[in-house]
Structure 1
Amino acid sequence: MNSSCSYPSNHQSMIPLVSSPTGIPLPHCACGMESVATIFLGNNNLTGGLPNCSISLEILDLGNNLFSGNIPPQIGVCSNLKELHLEGNNLVGRIPSSISNISSLQILTLACNELIGQIPHALSKMKSLKWIYFGHNNLSGAIPRELFNLVSLNHLDLVDNNLSGQIPSSLGNLTNLQYLFLYENKLTGLLPRSIFGLKKLVELDLSYNHLSGEIPELIIELKSLEILHLSSNNFIGKIPNALAFLPCLQLVRLSLNSLTGEIPSLICKISSIEVLNLADNNLSGTISPCLGNFSNRLSILDLQSNSFHGTILETFREDCGLRNINFNGNKLEGSLPRSLANCKNLEMMDVGDNKINGTFPYWLYTLPELQVLVLRSNKLHGVLQSSKIIHPFLKLRILDLSNNDFTGPLPKGIIKNLKAMMNLSEQQSSLQYMQGRYYYYHVNLTVKGFYSEFPEISKTLTSIDLSNNNFHGEIPSVIGKLRSLRGLNLSHNSLGSQIPTSMGNLTSLEWLDLSSNKLTGQIPNELTDMTFLAFLNVSHNRLTGPIPQGKQFSTLENGSYEGNLALCGFPLSKACNNDGRKQSSPSFLKEADDSESKISFGWKIVLMGYGCGLIFGAVIGYVTFRNGEPKWFVTLFRVKYH
């Protein structure tokens, strides 16, 4: 017998197991001992099929392992089970109806497997169930109405399946329900009125479905509600005023719908709110001044992709708690309010694609936590001056000032302080994302020539975009210190001089766009050290000489270099000499050479003619004149001079 099944003679009431080696099969005796009441074998690497269990078991936790196959029908004999945890495995097939024989079961978690088929109607017999967690499977069909007869249910999670149809009105029977998660399915229809009778509901997430209609004012009945997620549906109408009378509300996400009208000023009465996401709707009007000062708990304010107009008022309070402001894609104008400098915890500010004007807001230098700054596609102008702050933008990782009217040289004083773009070790330590509570930061950036959406912002993402402005002068060599930079776009400016060799130090760079400038000289060979470079565009400049060869440069195409008439080498059709000069001269020099050779050849013929004629004439003249004056000669000269 395996040593893991050897216990003292008085028997164990609990079997814990943690950190097993990879791929160990579970001994069947572990679940079959008659006097064992509780088995915790979760979060290991156990393999094989699910074992049989004894009638004495009350808690069986096999979650987060590598078990495969079907859930056996014999699971129904475990009649004393109170908790069954099978989540996070590789289980397939249907949920067996026999599982409903476990009438004492209170917690049933089958999430994160590959289960298919419909939810068994027989589950309605399990009157003791308090927690159902079937999320992240491939379950289909309608939600059984009978499921909502489980009046003890506290937590219902059916997320990320293929469930369809309407939400049954019998949902209102679940008077003890506190958590309802049905997001990422294919549910349709209106919100059932019965849902607003769930007085104990704390979290409601119906996002990413096909629900329609208006959000009714009846939502005022959900006095215990803290989290409201209705994003990515087809809701219409106005934001209900009733939200202002939910005293516990902490998070509101109504994004990606078709809501219209203005933000009700009453919403500023929700002093407990932390996240307000109304992005991607058809909302209009001005941004209410109270949104900047009604609560120091508000950390996320996302109003992007609506039709808000007017100015952003100077109303941000001194104890502003905002960490993320996203007003991108509206019709806002005027200058950015200086009171935003009060938001010392601000990590991200995106006001791109508006009509913001004025010069660069230098008070941004005073925001010590700022990591993402997007001011693209506005009407900002002027020279980017160096900061008087000793170390501005120490944490800045994404800077997008593209499509404005900035002038002057590139901001060397800003670039040399971007410490977060210099430290490779911290950036590569682990894959983490910028986020708040129930909210991932997101941004749109031009990457490899395409405007791309990043629904999550990795903390390893670093990018500078200064394209489509009027910057001139040279590219400062200090830019080579940004060793963790992944994207750089300086295209469509008036930058001149040579590409600095220090850019070869940007060994993390994945895309580089220097196109449509006035750059001269050769492309530095040091750029071949950019081993992650997947996109390069230096087209439409005044570059000369051979294109560097090897490494990533071997993967680039002609379009990367077009519009530079004096470049040569692969992938262009113009070859270079061994010394790096082109074999063929430019066309105007070639024509000049051809013209000179033709003239030279013509004069040779003329001189040869003169030589032959001179000798022939001398001989004939001598013979003629010696024999007397010819008549044609006398006649010719008499006529001419008469």
Structure 2
Amino acid sequence: MLNKTAKSHSLFSMFMFLLVLNFSLSQVDELKLLLSFKSSINDPSGFLSNWNPPTPLCLWHGISCNNFSRVKVIDLAEKNISGTISSSVFHLSKMDTINLSKNKLSGEISSELISSSSLRYLNLSHNYLTGVISNCSILLEILDLEDNMFSGKIPPQIGVCSNLKVLNLGGNYLVGRIPSSISNIRSLQILILAANDLIGQIPCALSKMKTLKRIHLGYNNLSGEIPQELVDIVSLNYLDLAFNNLSGQIPTSLGNLSNLQYLYLFNNKLTGLLPRSISGLKKLIELDLSQNYLFGEIPELISELQSLEILHLFSNDFTGKIPNSLASLPRLQVVSFLSNSLTGEIPSSICNISSIEVLDLADNYLSGIIPPCLGNFSKYLTILDLQMNSFHGTILEMFGEDCRLRNLNFNDNKLQGSLPRSLANCRNLVMMDIGGNKLNGTFPYWLETLPELQVLVLRSNKLRGVLQSYKTIHPFPKLRILDLANNEFTGPLPKGIIKNMKAIMNLSEQQSSLQYMHDRYYTYNLSLTVKGFYIELPLLTTFTSMDLSNNNFHGEIPNVIGKLSSLRGLNLSHNSLNGHIPMSMGNLTSLEWLDLSSNKLTGQIPDQLKDMTFLAFLNLSYNQLTGPIPQGKQFSTFENGSYKGNLALCDFPLSKSCNNNGRKQSSPSFLKEADDSETKISFGWKVVLTGYGCGLIVGVIIGYVTFRNGEPKWFVTLYGVKYHRKGRRCSRN
């Protein structure tokens, strides 16, 4: 019995030895596979520095093991690694999860990569990987290859990946149609194919996927109508079909999607009425139907969407009035009805939406007065855009001390009176555009105190008076766009304001990259005169300009303007400015357009302006400039129109050449039209008077001798002819 027990113990020990030996050999194999993977990538941050044999495998950075010390997880997301992905890593037999997302990995992905037998989670999104998707692991549940460079078609074989719960192939270069076989993945919950080049219709077979919760097919080239069958997927809570070429009407049974929270159909070619069944979307949080061809009235039934927070219906052809029922939506944060055909007044009931952050009713046919409650009805309101309507009356003192507005746009209405001083309470204002109205009064100097104001547009009003800074120590500390064109301002240019525009002096130091100004659900747009054209453009954080044209400013252009080194556009045209163009303007090396036309500027064009290497538009026409036009650099690109109306300018591109000393050879009549200061420099009055005196004495002596000896015939003839011609000219006049 003892021998039998000993023998049994010996066999057990042998079994355990073989198991440990096999286990150790497996770890050695895994070690080799991981080191092979490491050798194929670059690791500038040194995250993989402990991937060396002395360190136990399960303690390597980014590695997790199972209970048997076998590698289960590789997580190297956002580690700044680059290079290629060695297929060796997919031979790890117990591998469950690989996350290499948000790195700089490149190269073609092999079929081995997705065919690992044990892999359940694979995330290679946000890299530079290429290739054609051809297969996937049978057990794979999450496949995330978003934002790479995969191309080709989605293969029909994708339907055999029966365990997939998440399929994310968005942001690649996939083409062709969505294969109907994708509907065979009956367990799929999230389908993301957005931002590719997919074409054709949306497969009706998607309705078979009863577990689908999210569908992302936006930003493709899909066409046809929205399948009626799609609304049978009652589990859907997110549907994105935006930025395609979908046409036809919105399905009438849309309300069947009772769990839907997010619906994005914007930027398509949808037409027809907004279906009444939309009232069935009780859980809807965001609704974006903008940029389509929808028409008719906005239904009052929208009030039944009690969970609605974001409502975008802009750029359609909705008519009628703004529905009063909006006031019954307690969570509404964003209302954008921009660019429709809405009429009537803004209902005062809208002021009951205390949660609202963005109210954009621009570019409609709205009229009446602006309800006073709009200035202070929501402590969250940051955007109030009512531009391009027909509002009239005055802007009342409606902005309270808790004003949080960042953008106030009343441009292109019929508003009158002066700006309310209560606007000074809006300490967060970044942009204020009240141009294109009938405002009167003087410049609202109290706006100087607004610490965040970057854009101030008061163009095309009836503002008057002298423009000057008042008691503020540092006026307009962040102002970078000032447009006061087409008003009735007088006096000298506002030197006090110009010298304090610190944001335009060192903008490049404050902004390291070009970014569009936008809030969460609103992009700032601005209409300005740029290079001679009045255009609308999205506002860049680095955009700077000053437009004081079409006023009655006089005096000289101050030298301090040369400190605005980040200025990109300057328009001082159609004023009464005189004196020379300051040489300090040559410091405006970022300037792209300069318009000084229709003033009374004199002297030469400074050579320093040649340092404006970005200058693409120049207009110096209709002044009294003299001398040669600077040559070379950007000045070789400007045509005659930049200089017309300056009779004393010469050299290219004009046909008039200059003489050797830089002055044009002129006739007496031409010189008479030249500026007085230039005449002083060229001749000197002492020399002229001396010559005139000597000539007069000689002439008197010669005349006395001549007439004493008898009236000469040549004198009578010459005098008679001149007198006769003068008489004809007078009679003709």
**Scaled by the length of structure 2, what TM-score is found?**
0.79
Find out whether 1:282 has 2:365 as its counterpart. yes
Whether contact under 8 Å (1:427, 1:484) holds in the other structure is: no
Find out whether 1:116 has 2:209 as its counterpart. no
Whether contact under 8 Å (1:366, 1:392) holds in the other structure is: yes
5 Å matches for 1:147-166?
A: 147-166=230-249
| Letter paired with 1:371 | Q
- The number of aligned residues is 592
- Determine the structure 2 residue equivalent to 1:405: 488
| Letter paired with 1:90 | Y
**Equivalent of 1:17 in 100, 103, 108:** 100
Deviation at 1:387, TM superposition (A): 2.8
Whether contact under 8 Å (1:387, 1:414) holds in the other structure is: no
Separation in 2, partners of 1:424, 1:566: 38
- Indicate the SS of the match to 1:479: helix
- Indicate the SS of the match to 2:489: strand
| Letter paired with 2:420 | P
- Indicate the SS of the match to 2:326: helix
Farther-moved stretch of structure 1 (106-115 vs 572-581): 572-581
Separation in 2, partners of 1:71, 1:338: 61
- Determine the structure 1 residue equivalent to 2:566: 484
- Determine the structure 2 residue equivalent to 1:616: none
Find out whether 1:519 has 2:601 as its counterpart. yes
Find out whether 1:566 has 2:648 as its counterpart. yes
Farther-moved stretch of structure 1 (75-84 vs 386-395): 386-395
Separation in 1, partners of 2:236, 2:103: 34
**Equivalent of 1:550 in 632, 639, 660:** 632
Separation in 2, partners of 1:568, 1:437: 54
Separation in 2, partners of 1:474, 1:72: 72
Q: Deviations over 1:411-463 (max 9, x none)?
A: 00000111110114335511112112200111100011110101x21011000
Whether contact under 8 Å (2:358, 2:383) holds in the other structure is: yes
- Determine the structure 2 residue equivalent to 1:350: 433
Find out whether 1:415 has 2:506 as its counterpart. no
Find out whether 1:62 has 2:145 as its counterpart. yes
- Determine the structure 2 residue equivalent to 1:219: 302
**Equivalent of 1:255 in 318, 335, 338:** 338
- Indicate the SS of the match to 1:496: strand
Separation in 2, partners of 1:20, 1:386: 52
- Determine the structure 1 residue equivalent to 2:576: 494
Whether contact under 8 Å (2:93, 2:118) holds in the other structure is: no
- Determine the structure 1 residue equivalent to 2:452: 369
- Determine the structure 2 residue equivalent to 1:533: 615
Find out whether 1:5 has 2:87 as its counterpart. yes
- Determine the structure 1 residue equivalent to 2:317: 234
- Determine the structure 1 residue equivalent to 2:719: none
Find out whether 1:359 has 2:442 as its counterpart. yes
Whether contact under 8 Å (1:462, 1:487) holds in the other structure is: yes
| Letter paired with 1:545 | G
Separation in 2, partners of 1:155, 1:529: 55
- Indicate the SS of the match to 1:195: helix
Separation in 1, partners of 2:300, 2:291: 22
Q: Structure 1 segments of 4 or more deviating over 2 A?
A: 1-10, 18-23, 424-428, 583-591
Separation in 2, partners of 1:373, 1:33: 61
5 Å matches for 1:420-431?
A: 420-426=503-509, 428-431=511-514
Q: What's the Cα RMSD here?
A: 1.6
- Determine the structure 2 residue equivalent to 1:293: 376
Separation in 2, partners of 1:505, 1:347: 27
- Indicate the SS of the match to 1:66: coil
Whether contact under 8 Å (1:348, 1:370) holds in the other structure is: yes
Deviation at 1:50, TM superposition (A): 1.5
- Indicate the SS of the match to 1:540: coil
Whether contact under 8 Å (1:496, 1:519) holds in the other structure is: yes
Whether contact under 8 Å (1:537, 1:561) holds in the other structure is: yes
Deviation at 1:578, TM superposition (A): 2.9
Deviation at 1:18, TM superposition (A): 3.7
Separation in 2, partners of 1:26, 1:428: 39
Find out whether 1:192 has 2:275 as its counterpart. yes
Q: From the superposition, tell whether residues 586 and 31 of structure 1 become closer, same or farther in structure 2 (CA, over 3 Å).
A: farther
Separation in 2, partners of 1:21, 1:225: 39
| Letter paired with 1:342 | N
Separation in 2, partners of 1:75, 1:212: 40
- Determine the structure 1 residue equivalent to 2:119: 36
- Indicate the SS of the match to 2:600: coil
Whether contact under 8 Å (1:23, 1:66) holds in the other structure is: no
Deviation at 1:579, TM superposition (A): 2.1
Q: Deviations over 1:451-488 (max 9, x none)?
A: 0101x210110000000000000000000000100000
Find out whether 1:305 has 2:414 as its counterpart. no
| Letter paired with 1:502 | S
Whether contact under 8 Å (2:469, 2:475) holds in the other structure is: no
Deviation at 1:577, TM superposition (A): 2.0
Separation in 2, partners of 1:436, 1:589: 59
Gaps of 5+ in 1: 592-609, 611-642
- Determine the structure 2 residue equivalent to 1:580: 662
Separation in 1, partners of 2:158, 2:670: 87
Q: From the superposition, tell whether residues 579 and 237 of structure 1 become closer, same or farther in structure 2 (CA, over 3 Å).
A: same
Whether contact under 8 Å (2:380, 2:404) holds in the other structure is: yes
Separation in 2, partners of 1:203, 1:39: 31
Deviation at 1:27, TM superposition (A): 2.6
Separation in 1, partners of 2:575, 2:631: 27
Deviation at 1:157, TM superposition (A): 0.3
Q: From the superposition, tell whether residues 427 and 527 of structure 1 become closer, same or farther in structure 2 (CA, over 3 Å).
A: farther
Whether contact under 8 Å (2:274, 2:294) holds in the other structure is: yes
- Determine the structure 2 residue equivalent to 1:618: none
**Equivalent of 2:166 in 83, 92, 96:** 83
Q: From the superposition, tell whether residues 289 and 107 of structure 1 become closer, same or farther in structure 2 (CA, over 3 Å).
A: same
Separation in 2, partners of 1:157, 1:251: 19
Separation in 2, partners of 1:171, 1:42: 33
